[in-house]
Amino acid sequence: MGKIAALIVAGGRGERAGGGVAKQYRPLLGKPVLSWTVDAFRDADPVQVVIGADDSAAFEAAMSGRKILAPATGGPNRQESVRLGLEALAAHSPEFVLIHDAARPLASSALIARVKDALHSGAEAVVPVLPVTDALKRREENGLPAVSRDGLFRAQTPQGFRFDAILAAHRAQRGREAVDDIAIAENAGMKITTVAGDERNLKITAAEDFALAESLMGGQFRTGMGLDAHRFGPGDHVWLCGLKIPHSAGLIGHSDADAGLHALTDAILGAIGSGDIGQHFPPTDERWRGASSDKFLKHASDLVTKAGGSVVHCDVTLICEAPKVSPHREAMRKRIAEILNLDVSRVSVKATTTEGMGFTGRREGIAAQAVATIRLPA
Ligand code: MG
């Protein structure tokens, strides 16, 4: 079977969804809409995203660690953006392409498989469709006459095509407006095949669609906990929750001894039943000498992504008499949110002393506890 590429169109601004940031970069269950959409196409090869000219930074943040092509920059409208994306994909010579709207993050693997199967069975152009079930009316001067539903249906994405044919059709129809890529294919004389769409494949349009999408996503939630401690030694700074903090002592450890990130890494590993940090990064391994602990946390978070899930919340408690944590708390939350690709409102950093009791009370070292909540697909 030939290669099936995915083209995800994320060039729009989505002003109707409100909030200032383009809707495809706003968080849905803790990660950007576009991250969910791209993850839904993780079996496609390759994945090309078309973005708005001003969205490079938001795109890089949303895609952290994902193996996809460099983004193509979109045009003045969706149709031109799709064409530019297809041109960028041409160098990779896919046999088929699935063209999908970034604003549909809930495309299921079953829906994508239906479109792929139709292409593999010889279809040239495939569109998922749904029946119209609500009564339809037209507003007229004298009332609201009914409109027949006969022969009407709703069209969704991903729409699938033979790559060379849809690229040629887009090139030939530049400047001629079409509602979607199926219309372009039809204008070009391609035969259209329909497959069953999916009611859950919501297109996020209005602000209230975010709450609806989250409720449709459901899934199972799991919680893990982690605990870590490091001993003070000579030095003039400590690493805590990804920040370098000046101090009268350092922390001893094989890596950078960031007890906060180590506890959080273990909490995430715990939530997916994937052992502990020592198993993934043995302290006997020279590769991890002096390593910056954001690598460990990113690794744990990538394992969750690979399982089709996401970290949705975390809570870290640092236990020490000194250094003072409160001046750094907000920067720590921000740094963890960055590493986990999570909205900062879903990251908590707290601190406590043990009132002079025990090893932290005697200022022999720093301890940290963490709890992580993750969502896995149902
Ligand atoms: Mg440690």
Q: Output the CA 262–ligand 1 centroid distance in Å.
A: 5
Q: How far apart are CA 122 and CA 301, in angstroms?
A: 39
Give the separation between CA 237 and CA 250, rounded to whole angstroms: 5
Query: For helices 329-340 and 294-306, what crossing angle results, to 10°?
Result: 40
CA of 304 to the centre of ligand 1 (A): 21
Q: Distance, CA 283 to ligand 1 centroid (Å)?
A: 9
Of 324, 335, 328, the C-alpha closest to 264 is: 335
State the distance from the centre of ligand 1 to the C-alpha of 330, rounded, in angstroms. Answer: 22
How do residues 112-170 score in pLDDT, each as one tens digit?
999 999 999 999 999 999 999 999 999 999 999 999 999 999 999 999 999 999 999 99
DSSP 8-state code for residue 297? H
C-alpha 236 – ligand 1 centre gap (Å)? 19
Cα distance between residue 297 and residue 339, in whole Å? 7
Q: What are phi and psi of 113, to 5 degrees?
A: -65, -35
Is there a contact between 165 and 151 (Cβ–Cβ < 8 Å)?
Answer: no
Q: Which two tokens stand for residue 328?
A: 């750094």
Rounded to the nearest whole angstrom, what is the distance from the C-alpha of residue 63 to the centroid of ligand 1? 28
CA of 227 to the centre of ligand 1 (A): 9
Write phi, then psi, for 107 (nearest 5 degrees).
-60, 125
Q: How far is the CA of 252 from the centre of ligand 1 (A)?
A: 9
At 31 the pLDDT is 83
Q: What is the pLDDT of residues 195-249, one digit of tens each?
A: 999 999 999 999 899 999 998 988 899 999 999 999 999 999 999 999 999 999 9
Segment 92-112 shows an average pLDDT of 97
Q: Specify the pLDDT at position 15.
A: 54
What does the pLDDT read at residue 95? 97
Residue 377's pLDDT is: 81
Residue 367 Cα, ligand 1 centroid: separation in angstroms?
A: 9
Question: How many other C-beta atoms are found inside a 10 Å radius of the C-beta of residue 10?
Answer: 29
Angstrom distance (rounded) from CA 14 to CA 40: 21
- What would the pLDDT profile of 51-80 be if each residue is shown by its tens digit? 998 899 999 988 877 889 999 999 999 999
CA torsion sign, 86 to 198 to 68 to 11? positive
Between the CA of 14 and the centroid of ligand 1 the distance, in Å, is 43
Q: Please report the DSSP string for 215-240 in residue order.
A: HHH--EEEEEEEEEEEEEES-SEEEE
Distance of CA 259 from the midpoint of ligand 1 (Å): 5
Mean pLDDT for the stretch of residues 177-196: 96
39 CA distance to ligand 1 middle (Å): 31
pLDDT > 90 fraction of the chain, expressed in percent and rounded: 82
pLDDT band of residue 27 (cuts 50, 70, 90) is confident
pTM assigned to the model: 0.76
One-letter identity of residue 183: A
What is the 61 CA–ligand 1 centroid distance (Å)? 27
Q: How confident is the model at residue 84 (pLDDT cuts 50, 70, 90)?
A: very high
Distance CA 172, CA 169 (A): 5
pLDDT of residue 14: 59
Cα distance between residue 99 and residue 216, in whole Å: 23
Q: How many C-beta atoms lie closer than 10 Å to residue 152's C-beta? A: 11
Centroid of ligand 1 to alpha carbon of 309 (angstroms): 25
Give 11's pLDDT tier (boundaries 50, 70, 90): confident
Q: Which of 373, 29, 62 lies closest to 217 in space, CA to CA?
A: 29
The span from the first CA to the last CA of the chain, in angstroms, equals: 30
Ligand 1 centroid to 264 CA: how many Å?
10
pLDDT of residue 22: 86
Q: How far is the CA of 293 from the centre of ligand 1 (A)?
A: 9
Residue 87 has pLDDT above 90, yes or no: yes
- The answer to whether the beta carbons of residues 351 and 243 sit under 8 Å apart is no
Residue with tokens 């041409």, as numbered in its chain? 90
Please state which of the ranges 99-103, 126-130, 217-221, 258-262 shows the lowest mean pLDDT: 217-221
Which helix (H) or strand (E) covers residue 243, if one does? strand 243-246
Contacts of 230-235 with CB under 8 Å at 24 or more apart are: 230/257, 230/259, 230/365, 230/366, 231/364, 231/365, 232/363, 232/364, 232/365, 232/366
| pLDDT range class, residue 283, cuts 50, 70, 90 | confident
- Does an H or E element contain 268, and which? helix 259-271
Phi/psi at 61 (5° precision): -65, -40
Count of Cβ atoms closer than 10 Å to residue 15 Cβ: 10
